[in-house]
Structure 1
């Protein structure tokens, strides 16, 4: 089986006025004067017409949808069930497979060993144990991975890894007590990773075997 490696890779801008004055004139008394008849006042100009605003267009009716056409959809985040106790969650379908490769041993969980969803790996050279979630699209930043067991639970950082399969992996020292809790937990343990479906996997002997390979 081709070895699965974890390689660290390295997540917004007037107004104005006018006035006029007319001087008065004295009229001599001997001169007969005729009082001019005031001219008819000029007709008041009619107010300028203003163009009425164009009426708003009537809303266009949505054409009737065919009975066979699917209803419109909106993007929504997938919500996972929340359990007070992870043991109440249904187990994730799949089995564990053990593999002994050059420099490493692997416990692979999934519906097939060729397409695992979870990998526990012992790096014999460093003595470290990796817990990795296989993902479909390469991640660009670290995410929180939470491990829950019967006796212990902890949130750890899962870092993007590049390789034949993109994955998010957390690295633990082989003596970390969280690994012991995973090996001896009652029934199964949970692996919850930010943005991915939670896994509820059985604590089979393959898990313990990989941990012991690094001790």
Structure 2
């Protein structure tokens, strides 16, 4: 029995020996994968409701002079971005914003929205303005708007302004 198994054992050893002579399988060649492109963080879409728009940076300041009073909106060290002026001699209020665009203003408040023609003031730096009678209801709507009112004008960024006390004070100066 041992002799009959010997050829089987030799065959097995021979097969194992031949198998050991075979080269190991090659690793696959590295594949150049495209580098991942960095994903750009897209800005959040602008809120659709103007009452959710971020406020324009700055604050209101109040001033009196020989002509009347004015509230200026802006940041320290820069020209005002918006001005509400009471001209007591004319008994008129003038709302102006920086820039030279002569397209109409659209003023949005929580109570009303109205478009008003704007004209250049002729000053340096350039401003455009619109005039109001002291009893115009849009003035009260601006002063009492909840949280903000907006001055929009085609070709310029919207001014999203807080209705601070300076606005109402200038209006009352012109009415008094």
Partner of 1:125: 89
Structure 1 residues without counterparts, runs of 5 or longer: 1-80
Structure 2 residues without counterparts, runs of 5 or longer: 1-44
Spell out structure 1 runs of 4+ moving beyond 4 A.
none
Asked if the contact 1:97–1:113 (Cα under 8 Å) also holds between the matched residues in 2, the reply is no
Structure number with larger C-alpha Rg: 1
Number of residues of Structure 1 aligned to a counterpart in Structure 2: 131
CA distance in 1, matches of 2:165, 2:63: 13
TM-score relative to the length of structure 2: 0.70
1:182-213 superposed Cα distances (whole Å, 9 cap, x missing partner): 00110110010121110111000000000111
Partner of 1:171: 131
Secondary structure at the residue paired with 1:190? strand
TM-score relative to the length of structure 1: 0.58
CA deviation after TM superposition for structure 1 residue 156, in Å: 0.3
Asked if the contact 1:120–1:129 (Cα under 8 Å) also holds between the matched residues in 2, the reply is yes
The structure with more helix, counted as a fraction of residues: 2
CA distance in 2, matches of 1:176, 1:113: 32
Q: Is residue 147 of structure 2 the alignment partner of residue 187 of structure 1?
A: yes
Secondary structure at the residue paired with 1:195? coil
The match for 2:48 among 84, 92, 105 is 84
CA distance in 1, matches of 2:108, 2:77: 24
